[in-house]
Chains A and B, each alone.
Chain A
């Protein structure tokens, strides 16, 4: 298991610790570390492994993500929450593996599921990769440390430079970038 220091996560946690009893959505799937950390802060955690749902709905081929029926199945399976349900969302690097059509649908749902003022934490590679890259399952060890469990390789479907990221989160209130040494952009977005 690898670890990485994260200023973005630290920022995410500091924004959430102002108020206890918040609802946090985690896209990395349930893990003891994250459950212990989030519930230990007095928050409620909602957990789902979105990459697993992605594989279940679309398989390996990125082309499948443009099938409108499969898109609806995926959105129903992974994003079936009432509007304004969450105060925080740990998205990790999930959005990189969605093709533009699916991404637009997911961003629409995410915006609806988050309450005004909610905070979102996501990560994006700073360089474009057309080959499969290592994929991880992310867990929170503490507010500055992320545990990364390898889960095979995965081909990114989209690349996001700063301009693309601003466009992606254009419906949100603010976007803050943290460029890290390992060429990952950590992003904190406020709804």
Chain B
């Protein structure tokens, strides 16, 4: 029953008028006296407009020469998936190591609906979204009984179970041979599909934004931190936890459907445990509870292969480097192991040096000495898998050094864009830890 603060109106103190609605996690007008000048607003507007132009035209058409619509669509889809995992880890405070199941269920659902039931693409996405919500809420119900690290184990097991069993059901998923999922814009016509994916991304961002601006999102954040206190605020902890899962499932289902049609084909082998880790990776590196950071982080991981291809000569360099990189890593690792625990400052310095060295080796015209011999029994290194190594290194660096990820780094910019004075120190570490999930 809604109750209003009727008694307060009898108080002699007048209410202070204010216009801005504030939300946890986003930058606010912290200094009521500071208002940007019209020039300031113009600058901020200009930056936002530039970003829009970059995403919609400059990037895809000018910088990438209209060749990379597939990769860009993948980036948008990964952004949606990252946002979905963020709802679980960042807002609801539940770690999910089986998120590939959420995405895969959406993918197969849409593929099935479009190819078997012969419905249009949008119906496919809708069904995928609904099924995503349903299975997520079931898992959410389980989360009410089993919490913390043990629930993480359950999600891990669930992900494997989904890949082996659920995605193996012949009639729905086509068993070992998978299922087709045709591109709605026509075969290989990825350019318009990119904009379709962007539209869905915008929709997901909108829902996420509204969620966090209203009582649902606040309830989630309160439950994540302190469920007992949340219940004294009148928050039904169980209901909102399941709601959080539902929203995550919604986004994941949509992401899965878009992914299916992008690839043209869905098959259970792509939904492995490693994929789940990559999802966690991109969400954490992106920065929990920071939508922009997560979009950037997820897009980065989706585009990593492309980036490697685009840096001139990087391809062949990686092939030439052969065993050098792992050997260097090994040597550094041994030194670290032998000399004892590292202070964070040392780790930062070490990583900085390693990055610089790597950059020089890869990009500069310096001749790279090979370390002979090649590892007996193994083929030469392949550039594509370089991404598999870079990712986890970034994750570890994020966790140890910059827990807020990319989000933490861009917070000053977001703070400025929201209409505040530019403050480079906004967003301390305390802000952005992955909070203990009631373990």
A, B from the same assembly: no
A residues apposed to B, CB below 8 Å: none
Residues of B within 8 A of A (CB): none
